[in-house]
Structure 1
Amino acid sequence: MVYYALKLISWAACLLPRGLCEHFGQTLGYMGWLAVPGKRKQMAKGQVMRCLGCSEQEAERIVRASTVRFGSMLMEVLRFPVIKRQPDKYVRIQGLEKLQQSMAEQKGAVIAAAHSGNWELMGGAFAMAGIPLVGVAQKQRDAGVDKFINEYRTLIGMHITYKTGVREMFDMLKKGWAIGLIADQDPNRHDGIVLKFFGQYTNCLTGPASMARFQSVPILTSFMHREPDGTHTLIVDGPFYVEKTKDKRADIAKMTQFLNDAIEAHIRKYPEEWFWLHDRWKSIREEFPDKPWLQ
Structure 2
Amino acid sequence: MSRRRRRAPPVPAALRWTDGVLARLVEAVAKGVGRLPPATADRLGRGLGALAYRCLGRRRAIALQNLAIAFGDRAPGELRDLARRSFQHLGVTAAECCRLFFGPPGLLLGRVQVEGLPHLKAAMAQERGALLLSAHFGNWELLAAAHVLTGYPLSVVIRPLDSPALEAVLARCREGVGLQLIPKREALRGVVTALARGGMVGVLLDQNATLHEGVFVPFFGRLASTSKGLALLAQKTGAPVVPVLIRREPDGTHRVTVDPPVPLQQSGDREADVLANTAAFTRIIERHVLAHPEQWFWVHRRWKTRPPDEG
TM-score, with structure 1 as normaliser:
0.91
Structure 1 stretch displaced more, 12-21 or 118-127? 12-21
Distance in 1, matches of 2:310 and 2:272, equals 27
**Structure 2 residues without counterparts, runs of 5 or longer:** 1-20
Per the TM alignment, residue 158 of structure 1 is displaced from its structure 2 partner at its CA by 0.9
Per the TM alignment, residue 89 of structure 1 is displaced from its structure 2 partner at its CA by 2.4
In structure 2, relative to structure 1, the CA distance for the partners of 1:129 and 1:82 (3 Å cut) is farther
Name the structure 2 match of 1:18: 38
Name the structure 2 match of 1:204: 226
Q: 1:225 aligns with which of 229, 247, 272?
A: 247
Distance in 1, matches of 2:61 and 2:49, equals 18
Alignment of 1:44-63 (within 5 A): 44-52=63-71, 53-63=73-83
Q: 1:162 aligns with which of 168, 176, 183?
A: 183
Per the TM alignment, residue 78 of structure 1 is displaced from its structure 2 partner at its CA by 1.2
Per the TM alignment, residue 15 of structure 1 is displaced from its structure 2 partner at its CA by 2.8
In structure 2, relative to structure 1, the CA distance for the partners of 1:288 and 1:57 (3 Å cut) is farther
Per the TM alignment, residue 163 of structure 1 is displaced from its structure 2 partner at its CA by 2.1
Could you report, residue by residue, the CA deviation over 1:244-271 in whole angstroms, capped at 9, with x for unpaired residues? 3320111111111111111111111101
Amino acid at match of 1:55: A
Distance in 1, matches of 2:104 and 2:205, equals 26
Distance in 2, matches of 1:93 and 1:232, equals 9
CA contact (8 A) 1:202 1:281 kept: yes
Amino acid at match of 1:92: Q
In structure 2, relative to structure 1, the CA distance for the partners of 1:210 and 1:56 (3 Å cut) is same
Distance in 2, matches of 1:162 and 1:115, equals 18
Q: How many residues align?
A: 288
Amino acid at match of 1:236: V
Distance in 2, matches of 1:124 and 1:131, equals 11
Structure 1 stretch displaced more, 82-91 or 134-143? 82-91
Matched residue SS, 2:192: helix
Name the structure 2 match of 1:92: 113
Name the structure 1 match of 2:164: 143
Structure with greater Cα Rg: 2
* Percent identical: 27
Could you report, residue by residue, the CA deviation over 1:12-50 in whole angstroms, capped at 9, with x for unpaired residues? 23332111111111122122222222x543342232123
Name the structure 2 match of 1:82: 103
Per the TM alignment, residue 189 of structure 1 is displaced from its structure 2 partner at its CA by 0.4
Matched residue SS, 1:134: strand
In structure 2, relative to structure 1, the CA distance for the partners of 1:176 and 1:281 (3 Å cut) is same
Per the TM alignment, residue 205 of structure 1 is displaced from its structure 2 partner at its CA by 1.3
Name the structure 2 match of 1:213: 235
TM-score, with structure 2 as normaliser:
0.86
Alignment of 1:62-73 (within 5 A): 62-73=82-93
Name the structure 1 match of 2:154: 133
Amino acid at match of 1:156: V
Distance in 2, matches of 1:59 and 1:156, equals 36
- 2:48 matched to 1:28? yes
Per the TM alignment, residue 87 of structure 1 is displaced from its structure 2 partner at its CA by 4.7
Q: Which runs of 4+ in 1 moved over 6 A?
A: none
Amino acid at match of 2:130: A
**Structure 1 residues without counterparts, runs of 5 or longer:** 291-295
Distance in 2, matches of 1:250 and 1:77, equals 39
Distance in 2, matches of 1:189 and 1:173, equals 28
- 2:133 matched to 1:112? yes
